[in-house]
Structure 1
């Protein structure tokens, strides 16, 4: 019996009492990973995004619907105008205007200590942002940039007034804008003084542990939030999360395991909700001909530079076994780098599992006796991530490859990844910006003017793939855009600068008295929860 199940069963006897003990006006959420900061700009992880979207809003919602912008239209092939909502105020009472849009773009483009923010690189094609009037903002770009609305889903709007910025703001691409000395620090956000948004909730507190308390924004411009108060706790341990739910400590928990779901199904006081998600879990392979960190061969060569080796590593993995046994079907085997069921994803054949063929490819490439790989995996990031990594280790061992599995906390993992210390690592990439999001960021060559290649750790450089991606980046015709995505996707799957594993389904376990309307992007927010 798994530890998670054992803990849960010990507490199940008190679950009926716990289910009725919750305060109906307070919603208690248990996140699987701690939000990093109340600052909404530097971090791209789901939990930090989930937290910040209680407080901050964007021009365009994650569902592509208008949010702070009521509509938009292209003024020319290089200029798009957003008409902003009237009557929206920040939580401090300051009116929301186009000046705040310019200020927010300046702050997004500014590299604090040389570090880019979430979409700094993706917004590189933006040459100017102009407050046409209080309720109209124009974005100008170097070339046609049809996916700008998708990128702006991650531009959280800040208050220029709250930052003490006076007068007009002139945008520049470096984000200095003549006001950089007045930008609030991350500490200012974490303390709450700079965390002023237009969203449905207001920060009461944020702790370095990632725990946060929020209170309802009584002056919110949109539909009144259902919950008076939201308490967010960070509980990385699966067993502790499910135990806390059954004990009545939490109303909703993220990422229940397959074992946890068995417990939930046996208790009528609890339920779980699931939706096919937009996140692809995959392995990044450094294809550099000069070698990859942690990958060694007896003859000193670079195994991952050979496509046959990459194909062999992919063929050795049984994706169906992983999704059925480790996820109880709550994940989908991947056949490409974007979820196959999402709009705009091309139709691709299944990625086969064939150990004999994989061994033949490895021998053909000159590695019949195998080689050594260090497989790097964050210990506290992805549902069942360590179990999946252990399965992959077994598959590759059967192939004849010697694998050293290295797991470490996300903070350490992220630093080592950024410093190029990993030749093979597990990663997850969401697709709220469309089917090309992963391949355009992880495999394209870096091109800030086109918003490409911001996270290419694979050293991948294929001229045909690159031509398709560069053409896609400026293509305004949707049908032609999908053709270019299909071409680039097929090339990347043929070359395998990474190995697609599976598509996460988003899962939440919760009290039976709560109904969840969670989105495929996997955010855990109070507005998705409703009392029955």
Structure 2
């Protein structure tokens, strides 16, 4: 059932009445190249989505400004046995509608995140059971020892069981099927900001939660979030004062913004890796002129595609230097990154042509490629450059670049042959990438974003061992082995880590971290 855009909720309206007495209510207006596709915190495992909804909803365990773990809705946690974790829940917390937060909400939320339609199952797939000890204590039992469980669940946001049941939102919004429910447009979390109004692809407004249990460092009362897809329009809005923050700041306009005297660009490294994936499962590709077989099942074809990509040219012309070419699916700053393994196959069109000929495609072939045009920094430009490189070895790419609102549902249905994706490991650990992107796909959430269905049982075996290993040296050695197998298989085509670039008005202060989450509670306006 499709819901119409809701009016301002009663609870948000009440909050506005309280704040009306503030003579100069501080407002920050954000312009982003894309929109969060839903207010449902379990509907899409995408950092922009989780960044926006993470201002309204909270996990049991969260991250501080330096991305270290810190308490949120759980005040303490410990292992009571190798496969059981106990979490002490924060008392006195209320959801935005006034309902008390209890263990029942935790059990409900983890079941919801692990259930049908959820995009968060890769965070819950190795949890065997979640049990209520009392109203403010829960236990989680895992299938095997899982020492990094607190890291893994730091993006599983807690919803109100009562609210979800009353609003027929007990199941997540399923982006693959286009199914919506009340949680698409309304929200009821425990976080520092409440959802005031939701107008998809137009504007989403938030207001400070006056009853928040924790500390809100910034002074911002209202946040207006507006998608502005056009780069020039986004920059003009910042420099004219129509918005206070833009993300991303177009790379070609960094010097102009910095020289305006009105705003500056905050830049820094991001842990997101941009990569290409290929359908390696189907016997015949959905979108190709090759019939009766799948070229991507041949490692020589995958390697040819890799060597046809001029990554330094992309860094220089498309990314204007604001990227770090990579040979790994994790970047520096992620636990498990090994700098000595970060050596790409050389860009070599002639070698790529030879590989294609050896694989039986001396004249190349045609293949469809899916790419977003409003999600990552210069994403469509990257795909165009890749297509140009492949054209030089005889591969004709039929590129479909589209808004992420249609792009994500398509590729999440695996309705693709060749695609671009970006990934930030929410756990800041290599296990997240191995479990979500590289592990063989199952029906419980393993390999949930392994959209081309790469599969090597040895990598799976190592991933499970990495998950349980507590000895750092042994664990690092296993991570290295798993990534080496994946590299030799050319399981994916890693491209680069993009750099963060936020345009920020001189009247506003924000905190920028390497996970690219934008926390409203750290924002202040003059």
TM-score (norm 2): 0.86
CA 1:161/1:463 → structure 2, altered by over 3 Å: closer, same or farther?
closer
> What do residues 492-517 of structure 1 show as CA deviations (whole Å, max 9, x unaligned)?
11111220011122221011233332
Matched, 1:107 2:100: no
Aligned match of 1:159 = 160
Aligned match of 2:7 = none
1:435 corresponds to which of 423, 430, 436: 430
Task: Output the CA distance in 2 between the equivalents of 1:130 and 1:311.
Answer: 47
Whether contact under 8 Å (1:310, 1:496) holds in the other structure is yes
2:415 corresponds to which of 417, 421, 436: 421
CA 1:341/1:120 → structure 2, altered by over 3 Å: closer, same or farther?
closer
Matched, 1:345 2:340: no
Aligned match of 1:87 = 92
Matched, 1:122 2:117: no
Task: Output the CA distance in 2 between the equivalents of 1:486 and 1:210.
Answer: 45
Query: 5+ unaligned residues in a row in structure 2: which ranges?
Result: 1-23, 174-179
CA 1:134/1:161 → structure 2, altered by over 3 Å: closer, same or farther?
same
Aligned match of 1:17 = none
1:353-364 equivalences under 5 Å are 353-364=347-358
Task: Output the CA distance in 1 between the equivalents of 2:250 and 2:70.
Answer: 32
1:480-491 equivalences under 5 Å are 480-491=474-485
1:320-335 equivalences under 5 Å are 320-335=312-327
CA 1:77/1:508 → structure 2, altered by over 3 Å: closer, same or farther?
same
1:325-404 equivalences under 5 Å are 325-347=317-339, 348-351=341-344, 352-404=346-398
1:114-513 equivalences under 5 Å are 115=117, 117-163=118-164, 187-190=181-184, 192=186, 195-209=187-201, 211-224=203-216, 225-288=218-281, 290-297=283-290, 301-347=293-339, 348-351=341-344, 352-433=346-427, 434-447=429-442, 452-513=446-507
Matched, 1:77 2:82: yes
Whether contact under 8 Å (2:511, 2:518) holds in the other structure is no
> What do residues 398-440 of structure 1 show as CA deviations (whole Å, max 9, x unaligned)?
1222222222232332333234331111111111222232332
CA 1:467/1:337 → structure 2, altered by over 3 Å: closer, same or farther?
same
Aligned match of 1:170 = none
Task: Output the CA distance in 2 between the equivalents of 1:365 and 1:188.
Answer: 51
Task: Output the CA distance in 2 between the equivalents of 1:221 and 1:162.
Answer: 19
Cα shift at 1:251: 0.3
Whether contact under 8 Å (1:333, 1:501) holds in the other structure is yes
Cα shift at 1:282: 0.7
CA 1:190/1:463 → structure 2, altered by over 3 Å: closer, same or farther?
closer
Query: 5+ unaligned residues in a row in structure 1: which ranges?
Result: 1-22, 166-178
CA 1:472/1:226 → structure 2, altered by over 3 Å: closer, same or farther?
same
Whether contact under 8 Å (2:123, 2:153) holds in the other structure is no
Whether contact under 8 Å (2:329, 2:433) holds in the other structure is yes
1:3-82 equivalences under 5 Å are 25-62=26-63, 63=67, 64-82=69-87
TM-score (norm 1): 0.85
CA 1:464/1:164 → structure 2, altered by over 3 Å: closer, same or farther?
closer
> What do residues 147-169 of structure 1 show as CA deviations (whole Å, max 9, x unaligned)?
3223311221122344578xxxx
CA 1:183/1:43 → structure 2, altered by over 3 Å: closer, same or farther?
closer
CA 1:57/1:181 → structure 2, altered by over 3 Å: closer, same or farther?
closer
Task: Output the CA distance in 2 between the equivalents of 1:529 and 1:307.
Answer: 48
Whether contact under 8 Å (1:286, 1:304) holds in the other structure is yes
Task: Output the CA distance in 1 between the equivalents of 2:350 and 2:204.
Answer: 52
Task: Output the CA distance in 1 between the equivalents of 2:49 and 2:376.
Answer: 15
CA 1:289/1:135 → structure 2, altered by over 3 Å: closer, same or farther?
closer
When structure 1 is superposed on structure 2, of 460-469 and 34-43 the one drifting more is 460-469
Task: Output the CA distance in 1 between the equivalents of 2:442 and 2:505.
Answer: 47
Whether contact under 8 Å (1:80, 1:140) holds in the other structure is yes
Cα shift at 1:210: 5.6
Task: Output the CA distance in 1 between the equivalents of 2:146 and 2:162.
Answer: 30
Cα shift at 1:476: 3.7
Moved over 6 A (4+): 179-185
SS of the residue corresponding to residue 61 of structure 1 reads: strand
Equivalences, count:
489
Whether contact under 8 Å (1:291, 1:305) holds in the other structure is no
**CA-atom RMSD, angstroms?**
2.5
> What do residues 370-400 of structure 1 show as CA deviations (whole Å, max 9, x unaligned)?
2222222122222201111111111111122
SS of the residue corresponding to residue 392 of structure 2 reads: helix
Cα shift at 1:40: 1.4
